[in-house]
Structures are given as structure tokens and as C-alpha cells.
Structure 1
């Protein structure tokens, strides 16, 4: 009864927000549009964007500004959920929020490594980050080198990890910095879950993140061998140090597989091939999306008064923004509607 009461208001709020998520017919309508301003005008008529974008002039927006506005809706929805959450529920949201900090950090690092003269404008996100983060976005976006950028991270939990990487490698790439941030975040979640959650919430967090990490590792093993031709000793440090349904020796055999065919055979013998029988190495990214979405939808239905309802909504909202970002790019480059919808629905 306590769990039911503590989640009842929040669940009702999230269900209302879910009703405003876009459906496939709406994406198909967007794919038929001819210009990016038309896409923005269309979104202004949708319940999930109508109020937030009412003052937006679609004719004056650049592509990057559209993408920023789309991402801003994720943060606004997160803030709504946070407002309705109690202190216990906010423990999950505080942990989840770190992914948004890492996204912002990666954007800044990409700008530095690309040597772009364009000033990265994250001003739309400042108010949100001031409430939930210790990062100083103004300082970070103004950094012109990695040395300055890392110095501007002092006081945050990311300073030490990026400093160590910079000192341990001769010329670390943006990929290296991003990978170490992701690994730290994933490991942090796995270690913290036992302290933060219990009962059904603990079971759901363990299942959702456990399968997520397994699938990310499978994807990376395949991509690193297929496209980058990495050796086993190069692959091991890049894997998330978490095992859920994949056994350690199973991962070892995949990493050290001597051929694509051997890797494919091992994949077909894994736990995840039983969940998605048509899964192949080439479709691992689609399988990752399918499996995680299926878990979250099932758990949110089975346990509507649990952490699953928050995780499921945020997952679906982020994928909506990914789909819309893809749609905007396709419309911008004049991709045919039938191709556009295929790209969009893969996300």
C-alpha cells in the first residue's frame, strides 16, 4: 500500500505525459513535409509541444536551434517528473540525470576537438542545469582547449576521471574521453542500485540496466571486431565491467573469436538470441532498442507504481527526440518519405 500511495500521483502525471508522445502515423505525416519550418509548425500543433513552442518562430530557426529545442523538451519533462517525485523517487532521477550531464560534456568536447569557431550555445539548458547540476555550462562552452575544459570541471565528479585519462595517454581522442565517462557512469549505477533501491524497484533497475549493459557490450564487441579490427587486448578495456545474463567466459569467447562466423555462432547461443530469435550480428543495434523497450514497457504495465514507470517514460521521450532529430535531417536533405520513415522508426 505504501508503494501504491507514494507512486499514485506521479504515475497519473506520467500517464498523462505518455498520452502526448507521438505515434507512428504522426511520424509518417512529418516524413511527408517538405521543409524544416513545416516540421516545426507541425510540432507546434501537437499536445506535447504546443505549449512549450507556442512562441517559437519556425521561419527564423536554424537546424541546430531546432535540435536544441527538441532536446530541451526532454529536460522540461524530466523537471516535471522531478517536481512530482518524492525524496525516494528522486534518488533514481538524480542518478539518471548524470546521463544528461555527460551529453552536455560530450557536446562541449566535440566542439573543442572539431576546432570549430562557432560558439556552442547551451543557454537553453542553463536554468535546468542550475537546478540539478554543479556544472558551469557557461565556462564549459567557453573552453577553447581540453586543458581549459578539464580545469573548468573542477569541483565536479568528472574532473578527476578526465584528468587521469589526460595524464595517462599521449594524445587522448574525444572517443577516449567519452568512453571513460560512459564506463564510469554505468559502473556507478550498478554499484549504487543496492543502496538506493529495494524490492520491486531494485529488481526492475537491475533487470533494465543489466540487459542494457549486456547489449551495449555485445554491440561494441561486434563493431570493434567488424569495423575497427581491434585485437582482444584493445577491446577488453572498452567493455562495461558489468555482467548480467552474459557469463564472463561467454564474453571472453566472443572477444577472442577468430572469425565473424565464430562470433555469430556464439551470439546465437547467448541468452539474448532466445529473447529475439531473428537477432543477427548486423542487427544488434535494432535488437538493443527492441529488448530495452520491451522490458520497460512490460515492467511499466506490470508494476505501474514503481521506478519502471519513470524509466520507461524518459526512455520513450528520448527516443521520440532521436526520431524527430532524424526526421528533421531527412526533411532538410530531401529524403523521400518512404526512406525517411524507415530511418525514423529504426530509432
Structure 2
């Protein structure tokens, strides 16, 4: 177990990093900018991203490269915290590595499914390449799905992806591929939590079960509203975890004829504590619930491991917000038209 002094130091360090995240004035400045280079210059000069952007020529930076650099700051911050708290750091970083691998696999598969696998190489995150045994450059050269499965021969992902092999030219079952990868990720996560035997385990389990449940809510709602999926198909794509929603409520959600019925059940389960679901954007509703929950957890927890987990998600949300602002500037979209997509303003 970590000493009380070391644990308190990590807790203080994590909250200090949280305190350096973007504030209201930063967001006001960013949404007022009309170019990616202006946004990069502001982040470089005025925010906690200054170190990762210090060698960047902001007038020439590409949107994708800027996002990858911001994500490298997240990885760097988390590596620092994990290194400081060895007792749980190795477990956390194993999960972060797997999280990165799953997201990179999904990014490549989406390019591949669109018939543009070569584009992955142009947008490959160099900062992550050194943290994973997967050869991302070699993966970008894959031309068929069977080659991708063979490429993953010495990883846990081959077994997960091989059942989805299709004939050349046929579209991939992206939804079920994504579901299988995330099931693996959560299974690994809970295994790591169970084996680490550290204080705060119950809080960590609740955080991740809540996140998994919110992911299931999105899948159920989208499956009914946009794809007309059957109950059986939706169940096959869900993560096997529950937090606030009972088995009875879950069955009602899965059997509902209309997506609005799903939302009514969610409102009952969460009692509108963090979100009133007034927005029709199911993703944003779920983000708001989780964001408010983990923000409060980070402020009041006495466990460094819980603070680290909350910080990771909060940082990830911040990068998603910045990415949305960058996209708005790149395509000259008025702020009012994408404001509802920014978690900070929701």
C-alpha cells in the first residue's frame, strides 16, 4: 500500500492539474477565434498545453496534428501521476494503453471501412506509438480485413476481431466490432481494479459502472431512434454492467416502442440529479451526468486513485470540447450552431 504522505501528495498533484484546466475566459477566447492557427497560438501562450506546443509553428499546424498533441499532453500528465503512485500507477497505465489501442484500432477500421486505410498514416498519433507494442505504421499498410486479423496475431485483439471477417468489398459490422472491443476494455479494467487491492476500489467500480451504463443508454436510445434495432441486437452490443438502472427498468428500456420512453425511464433512475434531459442530444445528456458526477468526486474524494480516474475523463472531455471548437473554426461554423455540442456550455 502507498504511504499516507505519498497518497496525499498524488491527490494534491492531481487536483493541482485539474485546477490548471481551461476556465470560462479561455473558452470565451477560443470560440471567438476564426482559425486553427489562432486557437493553437492561444493554447500555446495561455494554457496548460504550453509545454506540449512550445516547439509548434502555430501558423502551419494541421487540425489533426493539433488534436494529437493535445492528447499527448493527457498521456504525459497521466504517465507522470502513474509514475508517482507506483502501487496503482502500473495498473492504470496498462488500462490507458489498452484504451489507446482500442481507439486506434477503431480509427483505423473506420478509415479501412471507408476504403481509405492509407489516411490513417497521415493522422497517426506518433506520441502513442512508443507506448504500445502494436506497430501502428505497419497496421496502416494493411489492405484487407484478413491481413488486419493476421497483423493482430500476437495481441488479444485478434480473437475479438476475427469473427467479423467479411469478403473483400463488403462493409464491416462497425457497431458490433466496437462493442466487442469495449467489452474487452471494461473486462480488463475491472480485472485490474480487483487485482490492485487499493483503497477507493468501491468508488472506482462505481465510476466505471456508471460510465458503462451511460454508454448502454446511448446504445439503446440510438438503436431505437436511428436504426430500428431489435431488443436482441441491442443487448448483444451492450456492456454487461449496471449502476443506477435496475434489471426491471433495463428490460422496460429494451422493450420500449419509442426512444422517448427510454429517456423517461432514465430520468426516473437518475432522478434528474445531474441532467434534466431537456436536450434531444442523448450523447450530451449522458456526458453532462458523468461530467458533474466525476467533477464532484475529484473535489471530495480522499483516494488518489479515484482522483486520477476522474482527472483522466475530465481531461478527455476538455480535449473533445477543444476539438469541436477547432472544427467550428476550420469550417467557419457560427458558434451558436455548435454551442450545444460543447460540454462546458451545457
Q: Distance in 2 between matches of 1:47 and 1:266?
A: 41
Rate the CA distance shift 1:256–1:119 in 2: closer, same or farther, 3 A.
closer
1:74 counterpart residue number? 74
Rate the CA distance shift 1:281–1:234 in 2: closer, same or farther, 3 A.
farther
Q: Distance in 2 between matches of 1:340 and 1:171?
A: 31
The answer to whether structure 1 residue 227 and structure 2 residue 233 are counterparts is no
Rate the CA distance shift 1:290–1:50 in 2: closer, same or farther, 3 A.
same
1:263-274 equivalences under 5 Å are 263-269=262-268, 271-274=269-272
Rate the CA distance shift 1:150–1:339 in 2: closer, same or farther, 3 A.
same
Rate the CA distance shift 1:313–1:263 in 2: closer, same or farther, 3 A.
closer
Q: Is the 8 A contact 2:295 2:314 kept in 1?
A: no
1:311-326 equivalences under 5 Å are 311-326=309-324
1:107 counterpart residue number? 107
2:59 counterpart residue number? 59
Rate the CA distance shift 1:133–1:260 in 2: closer, same or farther, 3 A.
closer
1:21 counterpart residue number? 21
1:225 CA drift (Å):
0.5
1:277 CA drift (Å):
6.2
Q: Is the 8 A contact 1:31 1:340 kept in 2?
A: no
2:119 counterpart residue number? 118
Q: Distance in 2 between matches of 1:89 and 1:56?
A: 30
1:224 CA drift (Å):
0.5
1:273 CA drift (Å):
2.9
1:32 CA drift (Å):
0.9
* Unmatched 5+ stretches in structure 1: none
1:310 counterpart residue number? 308
The answer to whether structure 1 residue 6 and structure 2 residue 12 are counterparts is no
Rate the CA distance shift 1:53–1:171 in 2: closer, same or farther, 3 A.
closer
Rate the CA distance shift 1:157–1:277 in 2: closer, same or farther, 3 A.
closer
Rate the CA distance shift 1:3–1:247 in 2: closer, same or farther, 3 A.
farther
1:108 CA drift (Å):
1.5
Q: How many residues align?
A: 342
1:79 CA drift (Å):
2.2
Q: Distance in 2 between matches of 1:251 and 1:281?
A: 22
Q: Distance in 2 between matches of 1:281 and 1:253?
A: 22
Q: Is the 8 A contact 2:164 2:177 kept in 1?
A: yes
Q: Distance in 2 between matches of 1:294 and 1:178?
A: 26
The alignment's C-alpha RMSD in Å is: 2.6
1:76 CA drift (Å):
2.0
Rate the CA distance shift 1:256–1:336 in 2: closer, same or farther, 3 A.
same
Of 77-86 and 32-41, the range deviating more from structure 2: 77-86
Helix, strand or coil for the counterpart of 2:148?
helix
Helix, strand or coil for the counterpart of 1:334?
coil
Q: Distance in 1 between matches of 2:345 and 2:99?
A: 22
1:163 counterpart residue number? 162
Q: Is the 8 A contact 1:111 1:120 kept in 2?
A: no
1:241 counterpart residue number? 240
Q: Distance in 2 between matches of 1:183 and 1:119?
A: 24
1:47 CA drift (Å):
3.6
Q: Distance in 2 between matches of 1:82 and 1:263?
A: 39
The answer to whether structure 1 residue 30 and structure 2 residue 30 are counterparts is yes
Q: Which structure ranks higher in relative contact order (CA pairs < 8 Å, sequence separation ≥ 6)?
A: 1
Q: Is the 8 A contact 2:65 2:123 kept in 1?
A: no
Rate the CA distance shift 1:136–1:11 in 2: closer, same or farther, 3 A.
same
Q: Distance in 2 between matches of 1:40 and 1:268?
A: 39
Task: Please report the TM-score for the alignment, with normalisation by the length of structure 2.
Answer: 0.88
Q: Is the 8 A contact 1:267 1:281 kept in 2?
A: no
Q: Distance in 1 between matches of 2:295 and 2:262?
A: 30
1:229-308 equivalences under 5 Å are 229-260=228-259, 262-269=261-268, 271-276=269-274, 278-279=276-277, 282-308=280-306
Helix, strand or coil for the counterpart of 1:48?
coil
Of 224-233 and 276-285, the range deviating more from structure 2: 276-285
Q: Deviations over 1:101-149 (max 9, x none)?
A: 11111121122112124352466435x443x422122211222222222
* Unmatched 5+ stretches in structure 2: none
